[in-house]
Structure 1
């Protein structure tokens, strides 16, 4: 499983990378806009935090394929590192994927809601497809089921494209996406924390410490006692 953080806040990214085994960061225009700063400054700050070797997914906003391709060239020259260009699965987006793949760009097809959208993007050359799990659930669909269907199609046709499941609101959705065959997930900081938390873990740790300190010195670690 590949874990990515879905935020454009450099400080939250820095804190998360100290704890979690993150492979990189995903952003989108909405997340970027929340930071209320110059676009390029935000992206370059994220790159500075995660380093050149980690993935950074950045979305284009043009509606026509040629403009999307121009944005991709600009981002590659301005940001660098292990960069993935996010492109929505519209007709123009599919055209842009076909334009950019031969040029060596790494591409993430985003705003995926059906298995056939994912399959078309994969055949066109996308490296990742990003189905929106929570939005599917909220619209009466089944996000995990869509992930499972995409995985079945990719495996059936031997496609190298990976599934980057996105749009989560709770740990259960992430768990179900993982069980359904997602290769990667991108989650916001709150949901990432929820993946690790459980009250019985906290209780167990406290019990271990009480038992330890009942015999050994309080506040002493194993390397500080005889």
Structure 2
């Protein structure tokens, strides 16, 4: 699992849980966190994530032309070997992703909305492909089935590309997809806080605390 945020306070709160492999960001998250979309700012953000235990940090290259996407992607990749460069699944983005993959740069194709785009991502050498589950549902599509189909494509192609499910709106969606074969997710801090919540768990914890306060478990 990855934590989807650019907010330093949220990283400091949630990464110590020890359940996240890394951190993912994008320009919208940077804007919400009031972090400039610049190499220097992303370097500082990545350093903070790594200091808090993150093993990978994903950030998005920018530009409208292939050479701009590649140049910025190279600069981001040079920040640290644990940085994965996100590239939008556009015509220019795929060309840029292929070029960066050939240079040994780790790439995640992002804003994936259709199963056929997974085939494109695999062929471009992407390490990850990120479908937006919630946004697919918002557009009237069956996002859950599309994501499952994407995972089947990767498995069927025997590819090492990982389907990184993004835009997950609640913990139940994550659980359903995991039960159907998906194994890589990026979730918002809001959803992350739901991962330990269950009414019966809280009731049990309260009962345990009552016993402990009564001295039964004391030495």
> Normalised by the size of structure 1, how large is the TM-score?
0.89
State the partner residue of 1:82: 82
State the partner residue of 2:45: 46
- Kindly state the Cα deviation for residue 94 of structure 1 after the two structures are TM-superposed: 0.9
**Change beyond 3 A, Cα 1:200–1:73:** same
SS at match of 1:196: coil
- Is 1:207 the counterpart of 2:207? The answer is yes
Range 177-186 or range 28-37, more displaced? 177-186
- Kindly state the Cα deviation for residue 69 of structure 1 after the two structures are TM-superposed: 0.4
Q: Is contact 1:147-1:180 (8 Å) kept?
A: no
- Kindly state the Cα deviation for residue 14 of structure 1 after the two structures are TM-superposed: 1.4
Q: Is contact 1:144-1:180 (8 Å) kept?
A: no
State the superposition RMSD in angstroms.
Answer: 1.7
Runs of 5+ unmatched residues, structure 1: 217-221
CA–CA separation in structure 2 for the residues paired with 1:180 and 1:69: 35
State the partner residue of 1:219: none
Q: Is contact 1:8-1:42 (8 Å) kept?
A: no
- Is 1:15 the counterpart of 2:13? The answer is yes
| CA offset digits 1:133-186 (Å, max 9, x no partner) | 000111111222111111111111211100100012211222223223223111
Runs of 5+ unmatched residues, structure 2: none
CA–CA separation in structure 2 for the residues paired with 1:157 and 1:130: 17
Alignment of 1:35-184 (within 5 A): 35-39=33-37, 40-51=39-50, 54-77=55-78, 79-184=79-184
SS at match of 1:61: coil
- The count of aligned residue pairs is 216
